[in-house]
Chains A and B, each alone.
Chain A
Amino acid sequence: AQKITQTQPGMFVQEKEAVTLDCTYDTSDPSYGLFWYKQPSSGEMIFLIYQGSYDQQNATEGRYSLNFQKARKSANLVISASQLGDSAMYFCAMRGVYGGATNKLIFGTGTLLAVQP
Chain B
Amino acid sequence: KAGVTQTPRYLIKTRGQQVTLSCSPISGHRSVSWYQQTPGQGLQFLFEYFSETQRNKGNFPGRFSGRQFSNSRSEMNVSTLELGDSALYLCASALGINEKLFFGSGTQLSVL
Is the CB–CB distance between A43 and B56 below 8 Å?
A: no
Query: Chain B interface secondary structure, helix, strand, loop or mixed?
Result: strand
Is the CB–CB distance between A42 and B45 below 8 Å?
A: no
Is the CB–CB distance between A105 and B45 below 8 Å?
A: yes
Classify chain A: how many residues form its interface, as a range: 20 to 34
Identity of the chain B residue whose Cβ is nearest the Cβ of A108 in the assembled complex: B42
Cα A43 to Cα B89 in complex, Å, equals 10
Is the CB–CB distance between A47 and B98 below 8 Å?
A: no
Q: Mark A82-99, 1 if CB is under 8 A from B, else 0.
A: 000000000101010100
Q: Which residues of A contact B (CB under 8 A)?
A: 33, 35, 37, 42-47, 50, 91, 93, 95, 97, 100-107, 109-110
The contact sample of 16 A-B pairs, CB cut-off 8 A, is A33-B98, A37-B103, A43-B88, A45-B104, A45-B106, A47-B103, A50-B100, A95-B98, A102-B98, A103-B31, A103-B50, A103-B99, A104-B45, A104-B58, A105-B101, A110-B42
